[in-house]
Each structure stands twice: as C-alpha cells, then as structure tokens.
Chains A and B, each alone.
Chain A
C-alpha cells in the first residue's frame, strides 16, 4: 500500500471544537457541559426538542451568545472575550437564521454586498460581482435588485444564504433555516443547502427535516436538556436509536 503523504497539518485539527461548554440563563443551564468536535468538511445535523439547547449551541460558536464555561475553538482560533478574536471567528463562520434577518431597507444585492465591502475591503464593483455570483448560486440573480419584502419567504432565506456565502466562510451554521417557511418553500431552501453541502464547506444545521438529515448529514446529534444525548451516522441514528429519549423524540416528530 502506498503510504499516504503527510496530510497538511491543519487538516488534522477539527473545524470546531467544543469542550465542556456551559451556558446559563439565570439558574437555567441551557448548555450543561457539551463536548463536540466537527471535522473539516463534515456535515452535522443537530436535532432535539425545543428548549434542548441546540440553537444556543450553534449561537455560542460565533459568539452571538457568550458561553459561561468551557472551551470553544473555531478553525484553530480559541474564542475569548477579546473583540478582535470574536470578529476573526465571525469572518470564518457564516450564519443563516430561522427568520432570515435580512436588512429590509437594502435590496437583495445590497444585503449581500455590505459585509464583504467592510470586512474584505472589496471595491463596489468587486463586491457586486461577488454578490451576483452567490445570488446566482442560490438561483436568485434575477431578483438581485428587489427589496426583501418583495420576495417570498423561500427567496428571502436563499438571499440570506447568499449573504452568508459572500463572506466566503469555511463554516456555515444554519439555525432552523426552514422552520419559518410555508411548506411549499421548504424544498427550494433545502435544495440550495444540499448543493452547498456538496462543495466541501463545514456545515452545522439545526433542523427537524429528517429526510434532509438522511441525505446530507455525515453525523446526527440529538440534544435534550442542554446535553448531547446521542450521536451517530444518519442511518443508524434514525433506524436504531439507542436512547429512550431519542426514540421518544423520533416518535413525536415522525408520527
């Protein structure tokens, strides 16, 4: 067997590392000491009942919520209270929200151009070219000049995905990206996310779309009461859940 050449050193390092991460809201522990490692290029799906801490978990990764204890390392950068470090991590991590969070006073194109112009020092023309390329990637180049209110929910969420892509992040976080959508729009958004998954980006997606999880996820994680209860590859996760809590949860959502 041909010995494999030494992989580049960073490849061995996980894209995201969480060690004993704790987040408290008053007396309530939203995260009760979570350990999780995500490999580069891995697609991870997190599911769990509401209030299980799954959104809190991914919001801690880009410091939208500050964790109270434990260690978070993103692409080799340890998350501290230092604002510069936080900004460095946010440059590496794109996020897509349940409610899109597009800026309503800017067009789809302007939404996509704002951050790259500020953070990557692109000229207006360069930023526009980049934004149009990513809008094309989510099949919305023809809607670029419209304001968000003129777009359907599915289109708005795809603009939000393009906006995150314009920072060319190596990690993408999705926080229930289809939960606020009308049923007929879920497919177009999941389709775009699946296309992205094929590009090699590291991805964490909080979702209850189990069909999507089976097709895309390398690994599924089940959270309950601030803990990771069970994890495994998608097939085993759904067909042979080990814990009673996951069996109960799957029975609830699959009905």
Chain B
C-alpha cells in the first residue's frame, strides 16, 4: 500500500517530533507574553486618563483588526529596521529570528484579546471588593495580586481557554516566516514521501491531542479557582432545629 520504508518513516517522525517541540515552545512563549502583557494592559485601561484610553483603543483596533500573519511578517521583515531606528547607531544590528518574530507577533496580537477579557472581568467585580481592601489599608499592588486578580482569573477563565485554543491553531502561521515547526516539518515529509494524507492527519491528531489535554487542564483549574464559590446548601427546617 505504501512504499515508505520503516527507516524513512522513523526519520520523518523524528523531524515531526522536533517540529512539534518548536511549535509547543512557540505556543507557550507567546501565550505567556500575551497573558502578562494582556493583564498589564487590561489593568491599565481602567485608568481614568484619556490618553491611556485613547492609546488602548488604537492598540485594540490595530491588533484585533490586522491579520496575525501580517503582524508576523511586519515584525520578521521590518523588525530589524524598526529596532535599528529605535536603538540608533549605538545598537548593534539585531536580526530577528522567525521564532522571535512569531512570539512577539502572536504575543502582542493576543494580548489585546486577553486585555479585553481582563478588563471586562474587573469591571464585573463588585466595587465593594476594592473598597474592602482599601479600608483595610492593603497597599494597591498587593490588593491587585491577592484580592482582585485571583477573582478576575476565575471570571476570565472561559475566555482565556478560548484564547489559548485559538493561539495554538495560529502557531503554524509562523512557518510562513521560515520557522521549522510541526506543520513545516509535516509539509516537507508529505512532499518528499508523496504521502500527504498520512502525515497531515497525524499532525492534525497531535493538535487534537494537545487541545484535549488543555481542556482537561482547564477544567482542573476551574475547579481550583471556583473554591469558595459554592453556595451553602439550603438547610431544611428539620436540620435547622436539630
């Protein structure tokens, strides 16, 4: 049925494995960047300053409106020139790798979505949570870290899981800037062996497996963040008497 030797297959599978590792590294790095940047931006946009709000609107409309692929190309092909302009003559010429461009581009694009989620969740928190913390003289930095953000994470979790899934599916775009990720390796193997079906389906299964693992993890996390949220069971009069 297939004229693929076992030795060849093993070789291609090894390449696919290496590609998968790069895809995962890219994904985790860009999600971490999107998360940190998004939380900071989300908190900052609540400031009453008009300048900050205007800046946020520009940021959101650019990165939610422009295709991710364009942002990747912009950073990959234009990033060196931009950095050189910012750093001036003093900065050595910095070449941007496909991996770096991918992390920066996906991180920045999805930070806008994370910021939107965080901002919405903060606005949905009762004002009393802030007042309770302020009345106890809890310093602002600790109020955010210990009181507000843990609750925000619980509210934003379903949205963050969506961002997580979308980002994973967008990672192959970076292969168009030359990154040898899972999809790039699959394409090479499929072309060389003339067995596109086997390799593309195998790669699809890898994405599905990772996605399933993510959902399982998200459920665990939800249970953990939900602690303390269950209402007290209603006691029947008989129990109350006892």
- Decide: A103 and B132 in contact? CB cutoff 8 A: yes
- Decide: A115 and B126 in contact? CB cutoff 8 A: no
Q: Which of B41-49, B76-84, B104-112, B136-144 contacts A (4 or more CB under 8 A)?
A: B136-144
Nearest-neighbour CB distance to chain B for A103, whole angstroms, equals 5
Q: Which of A89-97, A122-130, A198-206 contacts B (4 or more CB under 8 A)?
A: A89-97
**Interface status of A152 (Cβ within 8 A of chain B):** yes
Nearest-neighbour CB distance to chain B for A50, whole angstroms, equals 18
Known: A99-B128, A104-B151, A105-B151. A64 touches B135 (CB 8 A): yes
Q: Is the interface of B mostly helix, strand, loop or mixed?
A: helix
List B contacts of A253 (CB < 8 A).
none
Shortest Cβ distance from B146 into A: residue? A114
In the complex the two chains form, what is the Cα distance from A47 to B136 in whole Å? 25
Shortest Cβ distance from B134 into A: residue? A64
What 0/1 readout, one digit per residue, does chain B (142-170) give for beta carbons within 8 Å of chain A?
A: 10001100110010000000000000000
**Interface status of A150 (Cβ within 8 A of chain B):** yes
Nearest-neighbour CB distance to chain A for B17, whole angstroms, equals 40
Within 8 A of B (CB), among A69-108: 87, 90-91, 93-95, 97, 99-107
- Decide: B228 and A106 in contact? CB cutoff 8 A: yes
In the complex the two chains form, what is the Cα distance from A106 to B134 in whole Å? 17
List A contacts of B133 (CB < 8 A).
103
- Decide: B131 and A118 in contact? CB cutoff 8 A: no
- Decide: A104 and B229 in contact? CB cutoff 8 A: yes
In the complex the two chains form, what is the Cα distance from A119 to B17 in whole Å? 52
List B contacts of A106 (CB < 8 A).
228
List B contacts of A147 (CB < 8 A).
227-230
A105 contact from B128, B137, B150, B231, Cβ within 8 A: B150
Shortest Cβ distance from B230 into A: residue? A149
Binding site for A on B (CB under 8 A): 126, 128-129, 131-139, 142, 146-147, 150-151, 154, 225, 227-232
Q: 3 smallest A-B Cβ distances: which pairs?
A: A147-B228, A101-B132, A90-B137
Binding site for B on A (CB under 8 A): 62, 64, 87, 90-91, 93-95, 97, 99-107, 114-115, 118-119, 147-152, 163-164, 167
A-B contact pairs, 15 of them (CB 8 A): A87-B137, A95-B135, A99-B126, A99-B128, A101-B132, A103-B132, A103-B147, A103-B151, A104-B151, A105-B151, A115-B136, A148-B228, A149-B232, A164-B136, A167-B136
